[in-house]
Amino acid sequence: MAQDGFAKRARLLFASAVGTIIEWYDFFVFATCAVLVFDKAFFPTADPAIGILLGLSTFAIGFIARPLGGIIFGVLGDRIGRKNALVVSLAMMGGSTFAMGLLPTYASVGVLAPALLVLLRIFQGIAVGGEATGALLIVAESMPGKQRGFWTSFPMIGGPAANVLAAATISFLTLRFGEQAFVDWAWRLPFLFSIVLVVLGFWMRRKVEESPAFIELVEKRKAVPAAPLSEAFKHFSKPMGQVFLVKTAENTLFYLFTTFFLVLTVQFLGLARSVGVGALFWGSILEVIVIMAAAYASDRFGRKPLMLLGLVGGLGAGAYLFSLPHGADPRLVLQATLLTLTFHGIIVGSMAPFFTELFPTHVRYSAMSISYQVASVVGGSVAPLIATLLLNATGTPHAVIIYAAVMVIPGIICVLLSKETRGADLTAI
């Protein structure tokens, strides 16, 4: 029986990590291509800077759709279970991403091409809106509470691990076919390749068991609300606000350190695309380790100290990155990326269990998803756009430091005023 229990837990952790990696791989391949390719394939203009801004706009549209996904899958997850919602979200993401690899370009069909790109991007956003919190919740509700921080780090490594996979795939294709061939046609291959990963993830998630906390809720016939989102806003607006502020801060930093970083590398630092992609590859590998270490530390020292360290350190590391001069040594770029993603990993590893410990089971999926995803719109969706506009307007990334501070400081204050949640019993909240 003990071995059977171990096998179930191992399968859950592996499925949550792999499924999340697959969904974020799809998302990050799009993000990279939005900067490196889509301005030419879907938004050809006389001014390359305008084309990049249009490409980043499609990236932002995916975020705008994420709250809708949070609502849809949050309600489904609270009413029919976490597992079923996660299986559907993975299938939606996989189908949308594969279809992107088959899209005609602007040169072939004109404005229909960017229109189809935007439509598929909306489906991607809806899918991620259900995935991001669902995988975290099913792990948090299924694993032992004393090590909740460490266990929840498994789905949270999906972001940086997917960055590693996406960066490795794009780097390989660029080296194999050359940068021009990648822009012309080879950019399609990472999207098409995703179907293999999706089939694997779909098969694994079908084998995962439902969250024990949700099963207990159903078996005891507790009041599962017909409108869990409405109840969440009515009774749990304060913890939803906490999630919103911390997630906004974290997401702003993440997309400044990744998506805008690629713009910074090429447009301002004057370095090759491969320098930025390579730095993200190594930085993301390091971040996987940091997330798990920070999550483990949060089980011992609490969520608050780690979140504060990550947020404050992330601001400082961002100030260093955005102070690099034109033509900076690629080694300094790599150093700055390792530093920024280390502090981001500390935030992620400690905030994941903190979020799950704020809500009761019957509204946990809905309340977390909507606040989490709205924060992603306010933070992540517009961060690369605003930073790029500031760079183009001022000719220097120094103004981006001020923007980052404006977005992160409210999150720091929120953490300072929050109660420590380490050790909370999820079924008793």
pLDDT tens sequence across 195-250:
887 888 778 777 777 887 778 777 765 555 566 778 888 889 999 999 999 999 99
* Mean pLDDT value across residues 75-82: 81
Please give the model's pTM, rounded to 2 decimal places. 0.84
What contacts 130, CB < 8 A, 6 or more positions away? 69, 70, 72, 73, 74, 76, 77, 85, 86, 88, 89, 369
Hey, what are 381's tokens? 């969706």
What is the C-alpha separation between 40 and 52, in angstroms, rounded?
A: 9
- pLDDT interval class at 353 (50, 70, 90): very high
Percent of the residues in the chain that have a pLDDT greater than 90, as a whole number: 42
Other beta carbons within 10 Å of 103: 18
Query: Which tokens hold the place of 308?
Result: 């504060």
3 state DSSP class of 1: coil
Residues 6+ apart with CB under 8 A from 186: 173, 174, 176, 177
Q: Where are the domains of the chain?
A: 2-417
- The span from the CA of 254 to the CA of 231, in Å, is 31
Mean pLDDT of the region 244-267: 93
Task: Locate all alpha helices (DSSP H) within 302-360, ordered by sequence.
Answer: 303-321, 330-356
* φ, ψ (nearest 5 deg) of residue 421: -110, -5
pLDDT, tens digit (0-9, with 9 covering 90-100), for 6-20:
677 777 888 788 777
Q: Reduced to 3 states, what is the DSSP secondary structure of residue 224?
A: coil
Out of 117-121, 304-308, 344-348, least confident range: 117-121
> What is the spatial distance between Cα 374 and Cα 243, in angstroms, rounded to a whole number?
10
What are the structure tokens assigned to 132, written together? 């991001």
Residue with tokens 């016939």: 221
**pLDDT at 341 (0 to 100):** 96
**pLDDT at 402 exceeding the cut of 80:** yes
CA distance 263 to 166: 17
Contact criterion met (CB below 8 Å) for 418 and 304: yes
pLDDT of residue 302 exceeding 50: yes
Q: Residues 232, 367: contact at Cβ < 8 Å?
A: yes
- pLDDT at res. 321: 96
CA atoms of 65 and 62, how far apart (whole Å): 5
CA distance 353 to 335: 29
- Averaged pLDDT for residues 82-87: 83
- Other Cβ atoms closer than 10 A to 200: 13
pLDDT of residue 1: 40
Per DSSP, the three-state class of 325 is coil
The pLDDT of 84-89, averaged and rounded, is 84
Q: What is the pLDDT of residue 53?
A: 76
* Alpha-carbon span 364 to 362, nearest angstrom: 6
pLDDT tens, residue by residue, 165-206: 888 888 899 889 988 899 899 999 999 988 887 888 778 777
Q: Tell me, what's the pLDDT at 165? A: 86
What is the pLDDT averaged over residues 278-299? Answer: 94
Residue 2 reports pLDDT greater than 50: no
pLDDT in tens, 90-137: 888 888 889 999 999 988 998 899 899 999 989 988 988 877 788 888
User: Residue 177: exposed, middle, or buried by beta-carbon count in 10 A (0-12, 13-18, 19+)?
Assistant: middle
The whole-number pLDDT of residue 222 equals 54
Based on C-alpha coordinates, what's the Rg of the chain?
A: 21
Output the CATH code of domain 2-417. 1.20.1250.20
Q: Tell me the C-alpha to C-alpha distance, in Å, between residue 351 and each of 148, 196, 290, 315.
A: 11, 31, 13, 17
Q: How far is it, in rounded angstroms, from Cα 133 to Cα 366?
A: 9
Helix (H) or strand (E) holding 390: helix 383-394
Q: Is residue 43 pLDDT above 90, yes or no?
A: no
Q: Is the pLDDT of residue 364 over 60?
A: yes
Q: pLDDT band at 4, cuts 50/70/90?
A: low
Average pLDDT for the chain: 87
**Do residues 130 and 82 touch, judged by C-beta distance below 8 A?**
no
* CA angle (361 as vertex; 228, 238 as ends), nearest 5: 70
CA–CA separation, 204 vs 210, rounded Å?
A: 13
Q: Which two tokens stand for residue 418?
A: 């929050």
